Each structure stands twice: as structure tokens, then as C-alpha cells.
Amino acid sequence: MTYYKGLLFGRHDPKSMKNILWLFLLFSFSSFAQEELDIFEKRISNGVELYATNAGPIPLSLEVSFNRLKNLKCDVSIPHMAMVPAGNEPVRLLTLTVIDRNKSPEYDFRFNYIPGDVNANHQDDFVYWLPYKPGNSHNLHQGYHGDFSHKDVYALDFSMPEGTAIYAARGGIVTDIKEDSNVGCGNPSCKGKSNYLVICHDDGTFSNYVHLEKNGVAVQVGDQVVQGQLIGKSGNTGWSSGPHLHFEVYARGIKKNKSIPTVFLSESGKAIRLSEGKSYKSVHSK
């Protein structure tokens, strides 16, 4: 999560609303490459409106709250959560109206935001493809809620040699990558050293491919990838007891992401839930 605090103050000359001086700040921040959030104000006859634009490739979830709100009434409950779509079209967040024109209105606000829509609903009937080359088989050595490192998540660990080609299990927009690490070990001290690739799907959920090799990402942030496209190479970076690929689908949350169980296309053409300890052959056609 990225957190920022901003201050906007209003000063009112009670003799005439025309003499209100609104001092404002325009915010532009980036929490990952090619993402840009702008928050700005628009003066209206009896107050001010706050707007946001998003120049990034995916929606943003923005939460606004106030440290101070004096002589102003807000038209939404606070804290207020808003989804700002990609595309740079202004979205009105809220409106503040002056309560008593003979008194000075003042406010300061704070906000935090995360990439993605926190209200996204996963398309549960979507059939994922196994994230490796068609015709190849790999063992699922740790499944959902596994004893080693998946106790609280729906995540999958596929055993595979370093340098194994990784393919997109589902299409979407690449939102985040890390590929500069060459460090891995079998305990949590190496957790932050993993290389990874994150893709945002059209239903607002994300998939995460973790433990990739150094310089092992074949796409860039902002790229649109299709299901079955080559996206990188597996590795053994981060918290890893051996070469493997960690795959997880999740929905964004303000405080914590929510992992999601998924089904995959099997050799028989049916959608199945994978079981720990079994090997699965990848097929990239329906």
C-alpha cells in the first residue's frame, strides 16, 4: 500500500463568496512504473469538489479521509472509498459545501491508494492454463494451504528446473515486475529477494508468478499479454527451498490481499482443482 498525506485549505471573506480564495495542491505520485494518480480540486459556488485521474494501465482504489473539516459538509461518508478507472478521465471523489458563509471553511485530508479494484469479483468459472510449456509435466509439491509456506493462502508451487519457460495462465496487463535478484535461501529471511511478475486480469483480480530467475522476465510493465504467452523463466530466488514456480491468484485489499482458488485445464479437457503431490501435463487449448 502507498500512503500519502496532503493539505488543502480554504479561506473565506464573509462579505462576498466571490472573494473566496482556495489554495490547492495538485498531487502526482507513482507506486509502480507507468502508474500516475492526480488529485485536484475544482471550486464551485458554495464549496469545492475533489477529483482524481489515473494515467496508469489499471484501475486504482483510493481511500480519502479528513484530519480536519471545519464549516464544511461532505456529501459522502468518511472515510470514502472510490475506484478510479484507467484512462485519465476525471472522477469526482466528493463535494464539500460551506455550512455558514460568515465563517471561514478549512480542511485537510489524507489518502491512500493501491493498484486494482478492491471490490473486484473473481470470475470463478474461468479456466486457467498451467503456467508452463504445453506438453510438459511438473509436480505440484505444495498446494493450497500447504504446511510449509501456504498455510493461509490459495497458492501453488510447481517443482521445475531453473530457467524453465513460464507462460501466462491467464491474460491481462502486466502491472509489476522484479528481476534484479540473484539471492535465494530456504528460510523467511530471503522472502524479499524473490523476483516476480504480476498480471491484472479483466475481472480486476491479479496473478503472481514468483521466484523467477535473475533477468528472467520476458515482458514489461504495461504490456498486454494473452493466455499462453511466454512471460519469463523460473528460478530459485527469494524464500525458496529449491527451484520452483509459485503461482497465486488474488484480489486486492486495503489491508490484506485475498487469495483465490482457481481451476485449470486438464489433459481430458475438463476444468479441475489441482492436488498437492501430483504431476500435471500442460495443455494450451480448449
H helix runs in the chain, sequence order: none
* Residue ranges, CATH 2.70.70.10, the chain: 127-281
Question: What would the grid cell of residue 69 be?
Answer: 473539516
Q: Where in the chain is the domain with CATH 2.60.210?
A: 2-115
What CATH number matches the domain at 127-281, 3.40.640.10, 3.40.50.12780, 1.10.150.120, 2.70.70.10?
2.70.70.10
Burial class (CB in 10 A: 0-12, 13-18, 19+), 194: buried
The answer to whether residues 180 and 214 touch, using CB atoms and an 8 Å cutoff, is yes
Task: State how far the Cα of 205 lies from the Cα of 198, in Å rounded to an integer.
Answer: 10
pTM as predicted: 0.79
> What is the percent of the chain with per-residue pLDDT over 70, rounded to a whole number?
85
The CATH number assigned to the domain with range 2-115 reads 2.60.210
Residue 104, CA distances (Å) to 14, 27, 185 in order: 8, 24, 59
Residue 206, Cβ neighbours under 10 Å: how many? 24
Residue 121 confidence (pLDDT) above 50? yes
- Kindly report, residue by residue over 190-225, the tens digit of the pLDDT: 888 999 999 999 999 999 999 999 999 999 999 999
Cell 524464500 sits at which residue? 239
